[in-house]
Amino acid sequence: MARHCYPFFPIGEPPRLVAAWLMLAITALGLSALFAVVLVVGRTPYLARLLPLFDGFHRALVLHVTLAAFVWFLAFAAALWNAVCTGARTPRWAGFGLGVAGIAAIALSPLAGDGGAVLSNYLPMLDNTVFFAGLVSFGTGIVLTATSMLAAARPWILPVDGAGALRVGIVLAAVPVLAAGVSWSWSLLTLPAVLPAATYFDLISWGAGHVLQFAHVLLMMVAWLALAAACGIGVPLAPRAVATLFAVSAAPALAAPVIHALYPVATSEFRFAFTALMSYGSWIVAGPLGVLLLARLLACRGTAQTEPGLRATLALSIILFLAGCAIGTAIRGETTLVPAHYHGTIGAVTVAYMAFAARLLPQLGYTSNAFHLMRWPLIYGAGLVLMVLGLAWSGSHSLPRKTGWAQASGDIEVLVAMGLAGAGGVLAVVAGALFTLFAWRAVWRRKRVAPRRDTRLRALAVTLAVVASGGIALAWVGEELSRPAAHATSAPDPIRQEILQRFQQGVIMLHAKQHEHAMTAFHRVLELDPAMPEAHVNMGFALIGMQRHGAARDFFESAIALRKQQVNAYYGLAVALDELHDRPGAIGAMRTFVHLSKPDDPYQRKAQAALWEWEAAREQTGAAAGKAR
């Protein structure tokens, strides 16, 4: 069978714009590493006591996630889009100017005021105007770059050789990004602005956050194939087949407007539709391709390669992605299995991008020592493997996510697991920071001098015009946009206020037997406070009402792990285990409930009756078995 290589194509003019976006992306990665220091300290046993940084854990989490999983990825995508496009320089330089302004605003936003952390999914926020304006500015720059590229590049007429197939993948990655922009705007315009800040920001970013993953996975596959070609490894896929697979990978993002048209943003159907879209659509091409490339890497051991550690780096990226997908199937509740899942999948993208960036710098005219640059993605990937293992291990013990190491409750296995995750985090943070340092060193040591037409003044004018227009637009809708923040700051503790409000809503829905709506409310409570055992218990009862007894069992067990004296969790666990045909386990859980509950508990009589019935049935079964002998 013929094997094909997919080398990355020569970059045309203007290479300065490609380099500008590339270094902006690497700078965002470096800044995210600085904020990750706080997270590593906060999650590492005993280390958190040495430095008074844990109070800033949630703010650091917001800035780290925003820079590492939003800015770094999209800025790198913008660099690749500029690499396939040679026209429309002015709007693309303007997009870069907006991107720089956005990153600066995001990084400096903690200095603009208190700006409490809003831990919304996919795109956590700091609740202040500077942070929000920075996101809008950066996002506008990305959309401007993507639309300018699409106007000049048509993937269906590109020559489909090895390099042409990679061009197709890069161009098609703009489709999920623009679909995400449509989803975010649609949510922003249709969602009532009277919601609490945490709920509001979570809902407006839910659809966009899910759709963006298709762009990241698609460009990760482009990087995989280019890195495999650099290793001298071919794959048994023809260029047209690869281009078709790229199209299949991007196609699910087109469902975003359909989901918006079918379901209102605030409904559980809306959330489930986007979750299912990503769960079933994001890996269908990348997973098999990763397995194929991993097999080819193993089959071609011992042959020459260009850069030291390149094959190992590529293998680590693939392994992280496959492990992240596998861990995702084991998630039950809001435990550290969730960050283990997304650190695996997102870390796979980051490792691939870092190695790809090290390959791109020489093509852009900047000297780089292959060993110095390529070893940091390898070390970064090794650190992430340790982190994912540690988070998955602690998640198997029901440790809540979005918390520090103190939640380990003295469990030695959890402490060891979190220590492993902390060590991996330190390794990854150091590698990310040093990769940024060496990349900038390569740029400063040799600046490219090539004749070019200076379009910076026009780009500056366009940037200022867009910024001014955006300011006018924000001022026009400012009253609507500011309502969530005003509502949140009217109370002394807005997050606690929302937790209580959503918890009460869930309880009301549970008593009204509206189990799906109750589950949605308790899901939000657990996002804001994953260590709240009462929310785990009520989520379990909601799942029992929906006949999902296996998932209910997991939530009751999580509640008991968080608080041994959570009495009603034992009752719910007994009911769930009985439905799962685990009668001995049900009897044990119900006996614990009877022992711990007060004599006047309204469920005491039901528990005693259930125990009598279960034990009588067990005795009858034993007697029948004895007669049969």
Indicate whether 31 pLDDT > 70. yes
Q: Are residues 505 and 436 in the same domain?
A: no
Q: Are residues 427 and 514 in the same domain?
A: no
Report the alpha-carbon angle 489-491-497, nearest 5.
110
CA nearest neighbour of 227 among 312, 286, 167, 169 = 312
| Encoded tokens for 369 | 């020592």
Sign of the CA dihedral with 246 first, then 248, 254, and 255 last: negative
Q: How confident is the model at residue 481 (pLDDT cuts 50, 70, 90)?
A: very low
Per-residue pLDDT of 120-164, as tens digits, reads 777 888 878 888 889 999 999 999 999 988 887 655 455 567 778
CA nearest neighbour of 363 among 14, 5, 15, 77 = 15
Highest mean pLDDT pick, 6-20, 37-51, 309-323? 309-323
Indicate whether 486 pLDDT > 60. no
Domain-ending residue, one of 442, 474, 506:
474
Q: 200 to each of 209, 229, 481, 539, how far by Cα in Å?
A: 14, 45, 10, 22
Whether 560 contacts 537, CB under 8 Å: no
Domain-ending residue, one of 301, 327, 358:
301
3-state secondary structure 558-586: HHHHHCCCCHHHHHHHHHHHHHCCCHHHH
Q: How confident is the model at residue 423 (pLDDT cuts 50, 70, 90)?
A: confident
Would you say residue 29 lies in a domain?
yes
Q: Are residues 460 and 553 in the same domain?
A: no
Quick one: which H or E segment has residue 210?
A: helix 197-230
Q: How confident is the model at residue 541 (pLDDT cuts 50, 70, 90)?
A: very high
Whether 137 contacts 473, CB under 8 Å: no
Per-residue pLDDT of 388-409, as tens digits, reads 998 888 878 766 665 544 444 4
Say what the pLDDT of residue 16 is. 84
- Measure the CA–CA gap between 340 and 329, rounded to whole angstroms: 12
Q: Are residues 381 and 459 in the same domain?
A: yes
Report the alpha-carbon angle 185-127-406, nearest 5.
120
Would you say residue 322 lies in a domain?
no
Least confident of 117-121, 303-307, 529-533, 595-599: 303-307
pTM of the model: 0.70
Would you say residue 4 lies in a domain?
no
* Total structural domains within the chain: 3
Q: Are residues 360 and 469 in the same domain?
A: yes
Quick one: which H or E segment has residue 125?
A: strand 125-126
Q: Are residues 256 and 296 in the same domain?
A: yes
Quick one: which H or E segment has residue 118?
A: strand 117-118
CATH of the domain at 590: 1.25.40.10
Q: Are residues 73 and 169 in the same domain?
A: no
Would you say residue 43 lies in a domain?
yes
Per-residue pLDDT of 320-339, as tens digits, reads 999 988 888 877 666 778 88
Say what the pLDDT of residue 316 is. 94
Say what the pLDDT of residue 350 is. 93
Q: Are residues 422 and 544 in the same domain?
A: no
Per-residue pLDDT of 211-220, as tens digits, reads 999 999 999 9
Per-residue pLDDT of 591-628, as tens digits, reads 888 888 877 777 888 888 888 888 777 767 655 555 55
Portion of the chain with pLDDT greater than 90, in percent: 24
Domain-ending residue, one of 414, 447, 474:
474
Give the residue with greater pLDDT, 465 vs 20.
20
Portion of the chain with pLDDT greater than 70, in percent: 78
Say what the pLDDT of residue 446 is. 61
Highest mean pLDDT pick, 135-139, 461-465, 519-523? 135-139
Give me the amino acid identity at 216. Answer: H
Say what the pLDDT of residue 621 is. 66
Per-residue pLDDT of 65-100, as tens digits, reads 888 888 999 999 999 998 887 766 788 889 999 999
Say what the pLDDT of residue 487 is. 34
Question: Any bridge partners for residue 118, and if so which?
Answer: 125
Would you say residue 484 lies in a domain?
no
Sign of the CA dihedral with 221 first, then 437, 347, and 115 last: negative
CA nearest neighbour of 140 among 482, 474, 453 = 474
Indicate whether 294 pLDDT > 80. yes
Say how many CA atoms lie within 13 Å of 221 toward its Cβ: 35
Say what the pLDDT of residue 172 is. 92
- Measure the CA–CA gap between 598 and 274, rounded to whole angstroms: 44
- Measure the CA–CA gap between 614 and 591, rounded to whole angstroms: 11
Per-residue pLDDT of 336-374, as tens digits, reads 788 888 889 999 999 999 999 988 888 887 765 545 677
Would you say residue 482 lies in a domain?
no
Indicate whether 118 pLDDT > 80. no
- In sequence order, the 6+-apart residues with CB closer than 8 A to the CB of 329 are none
- In sequence order, the 6+-apart residues with CB closer than 8 A to the CB of 70 are 123, 212
Q: DSSP letters of 225-267?
A: HHHHHHTT--BS--HHHHHHHHHHHHGGGGGHHHHHHHS-TTS
Q: Are residues 267 and 164 in the same domain?
A: yes
Say what the pLDDT of residue 449 is. 39
Say what the pLDDT of residue 359 is. 85
Least confident of 242-246, 262-266, 490-494: 490-494
Would you say residue 459 lies in a domain?
yes
Indicate whether 30 pLDDT > 80. yes
Q: Are residues 164 and 296 in the same domain?
A: yes
Average pLDDT, the chain: 79
Say what the pLDDT of residue 8 is. 80
Question: Within 10 A of 323 (CB to CB), how many other CB atoms are there?
Answer: 22
Would you say residue 584 lies in a domain?
yes
Range of the domain at 198: 160-301
Say what the pLDDT of residue 494 is. 65
Per-residue pLDDT of 216-235, as tens digits, reads 999 999 999 999 988 888 88
DSSP state of 407: G
53-82: b or e for each residue (b if 16 or more CB lie within 10 Å)? bbebbbbbbbbbbbbbbbbbbbbbbbbbbb
- In sequence order, the 6+-apart residues with CB closer than 8 A to the CB of 324 are 340, 341, 342, 343, 344, 345, 346, 347, 348, 388
Q: Are residues 246 and 216 in the same domain?
A: yes
Say what the pLDDT of residue 356 is. 92
DSSP state of 208: H
Q: Are residues 271 and 251 in the same domain?
A: yes
